[in-house]
């Protein structure tokens, strides 16, 4: 086990230089320029403690889990299960059996749509999502809707890209069987008041799944306080390895759901005639999982928890506010998404320049931004654009990164002058 | 910035900003949609074939400077080609934007060489080839939209 090295700092002692030193990749150059990484909303970089934890797992403590009686298998099992407890504590779930390890948020939503949806949806039932969703919170619902005869409906948004609470309430009908909604938009940063959403849906007896991919990073969550039925997120956006993620579900819902995939580790007994399934959480964890990734995920949670969401939010809000102020001072920049409550994600367009051209030119200056539709085509359609340039700010970004971006925009203008 | 000038040459910026043969023509004999799922760019290519030769190519759509300029240049170099010549030119163009091969110069390839800088930017090659894939689908009568993936 690699234990966290960071002590709990007070928010006013937030030291971004020390944070940056934890992330080896931030000291490299790209195209001969210092890397300015503004694409953490797609996937965050990894601190040394996470890299070390994965490495240590393979170098010293690796074997398959839940199988062997030998030392390494028991150690690997212990480390793997230790991450489950860290996740439970991190999101304040009641029990570790409510934490299901999956490949990522995408698999978590597919699991709920196929398992819960397959068992509960009937022709004419409605699945309510929003126009803000990532494709991963749209397509799995469309697939199960097609199978069951249910319908996917989406709460529209406005010119600011905000979550429209009244429209949401209006669209809850007696046929609505589940609400699946993002905690924060990956494309434009809009933060959704998930606690109010859950309370409103629950008043009508409707369960709620929350896509927490961005929310867990920029806000954190207390699943008992929010009272959501499902909360899903990926480790790789939370400074952990890729290929590992979490489905949190309330135990009674998970107990009632049929398994998603069959295989080893998810069974109790198997005969050719029939099998019985393991108890939670293993019922939903067929096959050998991402063991080292899960161990690295545990280190990532320790790392984030030690800094604390209050400190992270205060820092990111500072960078976000500064970036918005600088971008608003440029008359050829059009912000896409201007909701008042937002995570540190900014989408924008440069007049007369396609996002892909902007992205290539910024890259030559060492600045990594995401360009395109951000897997949110319905939202792009709403704004009648093909895509945007997106700058997202993480715990390691600085005001200097924002300055570099603003300077980089000058390069874009020079090419297209 | 100098490397960028290889990619964004004046001709590309010019065709990107003011694409030639842009818009839906009054008549055409074949057409197809093209779509790049990576960036959401869309193009529609209209072809008029007469006696086995390309008489006119128009296009409409939205996209980056590379994809618009490539489509625009394509509409110019394809005029007068037989279907076989057009396909051969597409093959050569594909080679131009994906390999370092020295291509034996002819007038058509010489006109397209400005797009060769794309080969240094693997994620942008598809921007340059989208219109060509779409043209190909139009003349082969493939009912499916052309995709770069």
The DSSP annotation for B83-145 comes to: HHHHHHHHHHHHHHHH--PPPPP-HHHHHHGGGGGGGG-GGGHHHHHHHHHHHHHHHHT--SP
**CA–centroid distance for A68 within its chain:** 33
pLDDT at position A105 over 50: yes
B130 and B33 Cβ atoms separated by less than 8 Å: no
Give the nearest chain A residue to B62 (CA atoms): A386
SS3 A367: strand
Residue B110: what pLDDT? Answer: 87
Q: What is the value of pTM for the model shown? A: 0.93
Distance, in Å, from the CA atom of A47 to the CA atom of A25, rounded to the nearest integer, reads 9
Residue A13: what pLDDT? Answer: 59
Residue A10: what pLDDT? Answer: 45
- From A352, A356, A411, residue closest to B1, measured CB to CB: A411
B2-143 sits in which CATH class? Answer: alpha beta
Domains and CATH numbers, chain A: 11-45+308-416 (3.90.1150.10), 53-305 (3.40.640.10)
pLDDT at position A11 over 50: no
Residue A376: what pLDDT? Answer: 94
What pLDDT, in 10s, does the model give residues A336-393? 999 999 999 999 999 999 999 999 999 999 999 999 999 999 999 999 998 999 999 9
Mean of pLDDT values over A68-77: 93
Binary contact (B1, A364; C-beta < 8 A): yes
Give the nearest chain A residue to B118 (CA atoms): A360
Residue A284 CB neighbour total at 10 angstroms = 24
Write out the two tokens for A197: 């959403």
B110 contact A CB<8A = no
A267 and A277 Cβ atoms separated by less than 8 Å: yes
State the pLDDT confidence band at A90, using cuts at 50, 70 and 90: very high
Q: For residue A304, what is the enclosing H or E element?
A: helix A291-307
Q: B138: Cβ–Cβ under 8 A, 6 or more apart, which residues?
A: B30, B31, B32, B45, B46, B47
Residue A4: what pLDDT? Answer: 45
Give the nearest chain B residue to A357 (CA atoms): B64
Query: What residues in B contact A413, CB-CB < 8 Å?
Result: none
SS3 A310: helix
State the pLDDT confidence band at B4, using cuts at 50, 70 and 90: confident
Mean pLDDT of the residues in chain A:
95
Residue B109: what pLDDT? Answer: 87
**Rounded (to 5) percent helix, strand, coil in chain A:** 45, 20, 35
DSSP structure class, residue A132: T
Beta sheet of B146-147, edge-to-edge order: B53-62, B41-50, B30-36, B146-147
DSSP structure class, residue A386: S
pLDDT at position A142 over 60: yes
Pairing of strands B30-36, B146-147: parallel
Binary contact (A415, B13; C-beta < 8 A): yes
SS3 A392: strand
Residue B91: what pLDDT? Answer: 94
Binary contact (B39, A411; C-beta < 8 A): no
Distance, in Å, from the CA atom of B7 to the CA atom of A98, rounded to the nearest integer, reads 52
Q: How many CA atoms lie within 13 A of A96 on its CB side?
A: 8
Query: What residues in A contact B1, CB-CB < 8 Å?
Result: 364, 411, 414-415
State the pLDDT confidence band at A3, using cuts at 50, 70 and 90: very low
> What are the b/e assignments for A14-52, b being 16+ CB within 10 Å?
bebeebbebbeebeeeeeeeebbbbbbbbebbbbebbbb
Residue A115: what pLDDT? Answer: 98
Cis before A281 (ω within 30): yes
Task: Using the structure block, give the residue that is written with the tokens 């049929």.
Answer: A258
Residue B142: what pLDDT? Answer: 67
Binary contact (B62, A386; C-beta < 8 A): yes
**Residue of A351, A354, A385 for testing the chain B interface, max B β-carbons within 10 Å:** A354
Q: A308: Cβ–Cβ under 8 A, 6 or more apart, which residues?
A: A8, A9, A11
Instruction: Name which residue leads in pLDDT, B101 or A278.
Output: A278
Residue A67: what pLDDT? Answer: 80
Task: Using the structure block, give the residue that is written with the tokens 């309330």.
Answer: A250
What pLDDT, in 10s, does the model give residues B78-99? 999 999 999 999 999 999 999 9
Q: B112: Cβ–Cβ under 8 A, 6 or more apart, which residues?
A: B73, B77, B93, B96
DSSP structure class, residue B61: E
- Which amino acids of A are annotated catalytic? 375
Residue A380: what pLDDT? Answer: 94
What pLDDT, in 10s, does the model give residues A152-186? 999 999 999 999 999 999 999 999 999 999 999 99
pLDDT at position A12 over 80: no
DSSP structure class, residue A274: -
Nearest to A189 by CA among A314, A346, A408: A346
Residue B39: what pLDDT? Answer: 76
pLDDT at position A9 over 60: no
What pLDDT, in 10s, does the model give residues B62-71? 999 999 999 9
What pLDDT, in 10s, does the model give residues A25-34? 999 999 999 9
Residue B102: what pLDDT? Answer: 76
State the pLDDT confidence band at B149, using cuts at 50, 70 and 90: low
Min Cα distance B68 → chain A (Å) is 10
Nearest to A167 by CA among A130, A141, A203: A130
Query: What residues in A contact B64, CB-CB < 8 Å?
Result: 354-357
B9 contact A CB<8A = no
Pairing of strands A99-102, A245-249: antiparallel
Mean of pLDDT values over A217-230: 98
State the pLDDT confidence band at B148, using cuts at 50, 70 and 90: low
B124 contact A CB<8A = yes
A339 and A190 Cβ atoms separated by less than 8 Å: yes
Could you give the C-alpha distances from A356 to A26, A55, A76, A364, in angstroms and in order?
A: 23, 36, 44, 13
Q: What is the dihedral of CA A320, A325, A329, A334, to 10 degrees?
A: 40
A1 and A82 Cβ atoms separated by less than 8 Å: yes
State the pLDDT confidence band at B51, using cuts at 50, 70 and 90: very high
Q: A203: Cβ–Cβ under 8 A, 6 or more apart, which residues?
A: none
Could you give the C-alpha distances from A26 to A20, A21, A128, A248, A368, in angstroms and in order?
A: 7, 8, 40, 32, 12
Query: What residues in A contact B6, CB-CB < 8 Å?
Result: none
**Rounded (to 5) percent helix, strand, coil in chain B:** 50, 20, 30
Residue B106: what pLDDT? Answer: 79
Residue A2: what pLDDT? Answer: 45
């Amino acid at each position: 086990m690699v234990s966290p090295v960071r002590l709990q700092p007070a928010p006013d002692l937030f030291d971004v230089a020390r944070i940056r030193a934890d992330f080896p990749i931030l000291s490299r150059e790209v195209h001969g320029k210092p890397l300015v990484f503004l694409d953490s909303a797609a996937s965050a970089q990894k601190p040394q403690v996470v890299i070390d934890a994965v490495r240590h797992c393979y170098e010293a403590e690796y074997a398959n889990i839940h199988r062997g009686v030998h030392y390494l298998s028991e150690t690997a099992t212990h480390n793997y299960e230790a991450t489950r407890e860290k996740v439970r504590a991190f999101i304040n779930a009641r029990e570790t059996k409510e934490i299901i390890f999956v490949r990522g948020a995408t698999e978590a939503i597919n699991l709920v749509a196929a398992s819960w949806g397959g068992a509960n949806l009937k022709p004419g039932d409605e699945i309510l999502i929003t126009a803000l969703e990532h494709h991963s919170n749209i397509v799995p619902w469309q697939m199960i809707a097609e199978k069951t005869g249910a319908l996917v409906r989406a709460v529209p948004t406005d010119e600011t890209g905000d979550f429209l609470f009244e429209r949401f309430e209006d669209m809850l009908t007696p046929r609505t069987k589940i609400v699946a909604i993002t905690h924060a938009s990956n494309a434009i940063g809009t933060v959704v008041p998930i606690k109010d959403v859950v309370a409103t849906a629950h008043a009508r007896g409707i369960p709620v799944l929350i896509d927490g991919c961005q929310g867990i990073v920029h806000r954190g969550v207390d699943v008992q306080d929010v009272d959501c039925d499902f909360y899903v997120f990926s480790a790789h956006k939370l400074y952990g390895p890729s290929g590992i993620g979490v489905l949190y579900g309330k135990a009674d819902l998970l107990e009632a759901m049929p398994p998603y995939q069959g295989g080893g580790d998810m069974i109790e007994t198997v005969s050719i005639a029939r099998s019985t399934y393991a108890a939670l959480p293993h019922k939903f964890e067929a096959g050998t999982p991402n063991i080292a990734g899960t161990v690295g995920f545990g280190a990532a949670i320790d790392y984030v928890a030690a800094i604390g969401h209050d400190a992270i939010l205060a820092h990111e809000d500072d960078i976000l506010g500064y970036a918005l102020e600088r971008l608003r001072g440029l008359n050829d920049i059009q912000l896409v998404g201007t909701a008042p409550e937002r995570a540190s994600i900014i989408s924008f367009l440069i007049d007369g320049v396609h996002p892909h051209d902007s992205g290539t030119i910024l890259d030559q200056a060492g600045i990594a931004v995401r360009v395109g539709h951000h897997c949110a085509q319905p939202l792009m359609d709403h704004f009648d654009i093909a895509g945007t340039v997106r700058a997202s700010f993480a715990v390691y970004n600085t005001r200097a990164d924002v300055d570099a971006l603003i300077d980089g925009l000058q390069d874009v203008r020079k090419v297209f002058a | 910035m100098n490397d960028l000038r290889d990619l964004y040459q004046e001709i590309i910026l010019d065709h990107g900003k003011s694409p030639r043969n842009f818009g839906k023509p009054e008549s055409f004999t074949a057409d197809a949609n093209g779509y790049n799922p990576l960036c959401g760019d869309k193009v529609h290519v209209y072809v008029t074939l007469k006696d086995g030769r390309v008489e006119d190519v128009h296009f409409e759509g939205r996209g980056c400077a590379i994809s618009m300029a490539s489509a625009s240049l394509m509409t110019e170099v394809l005029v007068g080609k037989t279907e076989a010549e057009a396909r051969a030119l597409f093959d050569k163009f594909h080679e131009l934007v994906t390999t370092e091969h020295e291509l034996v110069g002819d007038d058509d390839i010489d006109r397209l060489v400005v797009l060769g800088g794309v080969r240094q930017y693997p994620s942008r090659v598809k921007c340059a080839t989208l219109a060509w894939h779409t043209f190909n689908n139009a003349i082969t009568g493939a009912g499916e939209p052309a995709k770069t993936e």
